[in-house]
Amino acid sequence: MATIPSHSLLLPNPINLQTAHSFPLKPHLPQSTMIPFPTRQSPAMAMSRTEGASISPRLEPESYGITTAEDIRRRDREAKESKRLRDTWRKIQGEDDWAGLMDPMDPVLRSELIRYGEMAQACYDAFDFDPFSKYCGSCRFTRKKLFESLGIFDSGYEVARYLYATSNINLPNFFSKSRWSKVWSKNANWMGYVAVSDDDEAKRRCLGRRDIAIAWRGTVTQLEWIADLKDFLKPVSGNGFRCPDPTVKAESGFLDLYTDKDTTCNFSKFSAREQVLTEVKRLVERYGDEEDDLSITVTGHSLGGALAVLSAYDVAEMGLNRTRRGKVVPVTAFTFGGPRVGNIRFKERIEELGVKVLRVVNEHDVVPKSPGLFLNERAPHALKKLAGGLPWCYCHVGEKLALDHQNSPFLKPSVDLSTAHNLEALLHLLDGYHGKGQRFV
């Protein structure tokens, strides 16, 4: 298989327009000052910090270079969490379906969710949304300098590959295209990346294993892409998946985005699916026989959440999570504000393969309720059985962590549905969540 051209050829001198921050970013408060360029829609403008509201000391890390007693306690707490992660990472990755970890909220699980949420946020921060840029639709930074260019200097991960998809499919409200006649690519968009934790990361953060992370780009707040969905399920086996059951189906638009390619384009001559599977296979072969354990974690927000579920399933279905010695590598998807992806057989097949999915959602977000607004997992059992074969009967997968932006004293109420879909606001809610009925701090 040919090699996807390096994006470093396109962006030799990336300019960092972001404010520097640590990984994970705190506090998780949507701020218009974080917009990397003027054409990008302000993230959750209406859900911004309320006037006069103060940020708790726990949420304000050394903003002015002054180390406080709370800073020291926070560092000690993070050190303890990292030490505990080393011993409990399998549970954090969903070995027991997160039983007893979400209510009350386990601090290590919260920290890991925020960390992977920041990986998904990096896809937005690095993406060129500017229609007046020749590189609109691409990543603004080179692969080797992605995290550094975003001000993330201690991620502990190295980006192994960028992912691209053809923009020829019918999702006009998702893809960004330049208004210039001569552009980096007329038929491709940057979709995310595959990264792997380095040796120092395993020692410094006490991950307890080496981690292969896949992050997919979604949509910031715009909801127009939902209208582009065909709302039609089709068998995954017809799209190259190694699935023995033709009744396992997924939404056709998601499948097209994941599997379509354009052989005339250097960046999408291979589908996003082929790109991610090739890289996962290479990394598992390289690190699978190490003494340390290995994990595969996929993350994404919005439409990226759908791609995260699809690719996590695909990796397991193809058997790429098995090392040459036969050891099974756990596959986990952490999604944020993601839609339904497939039917009930798709859900059951994911469970059979042992793929773990944890969905973080805002209760007021319409995207997780789509598609399948009426025929879904909430329908009465008799109706689900009757409608199970219909091409528009959907079912969520995995476990759900439901948050509510009305519980945060730092966010203004809003009637704009798109604001409930913002990833930075969702990470802010996650940061202050301690369990059902508990105070937001």
Residue 295 DSSP code: E
Do the Cβ atoms of 47 and 31 come closer than 8 Å?
no
3-state secondary structure of 315: helix
**Active-site residue, selected from the candidate residues 365, 405, 408, 418:** 365
Residue count of the chain: 441
Residue 261 DSSP code: -
Q: Is 211 a catalytic residue?
A: no
Do the Cβ atoms of 287 and 10 come closer than 8 Å?
no
Encode burial over 405-432: b for 16+ CB neighbours within 10 A, e otherwise.
beebebbbebeeebbbbbbbbbbbbbbb
**Active-site residue, selected from the candidate residues 211, 421, 428, 431:** 421
Could you give the dihedral angle defined by the CA atoms of residues 421, 426, 427 and 429, in that order, rounded to the nearest 10 degrees?
170
Q: Is 365 a catalytic residue?
A: yes
Question: What's the first-to-final CA gap in the chain, in angstroms?
Answer: 51
Q: Is 268 a catalytic residue?
A: no
**Active-site residue, selected from the candidate residues 42, 155, 167, 302:** 302
What six digits make up the tokens of 209?
């294993």
Do the Cβ atoms of 102 and 402 come closer than 8 Å?
no
Residue 56 DSSP code: P
- At 414, give phi and psi (nearest 5°): -150, 150
| Residue positions annotated with a catalytic role | 302, 365, 421
